[in-house]
Amino acid sequence: MQGDTSIQFFEITDEAPHIHYLTRYDSGSQQIGVGFLAKSVVDVKKVEINIAVRLIATHIETISFTVPRAKMEYFQEDIFPPTRDLSKPASTVSEWLAGTFKQPALIDLQPEGMKPLSQAPVEVKVKKFESRVKGELSEHEKREQVLSNMFSNVRDEAGAEPLKQDLMQGAADEEWD
């Protein structure tokens, strides 16, 4: 909108809730207008999903929107499906005036020589094997046990209820990658 200093981003889905807030772009200067470039000009190798051109009082600035991905060396076909080819009209003027409807031509944004993400090898996570005597605690387990004993003693002496977060399970190790 004219006069705004920020642009907010939402995702619209078929499942409820239908609108999900993603992020926002903030600038110190008010915009006069904003336009978005065609999907065919984005850099798919950088997982750039859109480019905005923002007109402000002193100049024009471009804003690049990218999606963080772990395997950027692969083409992200889930983000870049075939898109309209804006260089070719879908129909001629006479066809359009006659009421003929044609599907617009589509182009594939996958760069030559770049494999799609669906063909990426599946990574298997291997848990580290730790050799120790049965019943013996690892250094990490010993530290956790000492800390747990210290905090439980403090709570017992104070007669306090256990904290809500102490009763919850933490995040799984796989979630920290």
CB-neighbour burial class of residue 72 (10 A; exposed 0-12, middle 13-18, buried 19+): middle
Query: What pLDDT was estimated at residue 44?
Result: 93
Give the chain's residues under pLDDT 50. none
In whole angstroms, give the CA distance from residue 97 to residue 100. Answer: 8
Query: What pLDDT was estimated at residue 77?
Result: 92
Tens of pLDDT, residue by residue over 8-25, are 888 888 888 888 888 888
CB-neighbour burial class of residue 22 (10 A; exposed 0-12, middle 13-18, buried 19+): exposed
60 contacts: CB under 8 Å, gap ≥ 6: 53, 54
Tokens in use for 48?
Answer: 């750039």
Tens of pLDDT, residue by residue over 34-53, are 999 998 899 999 999 999 99
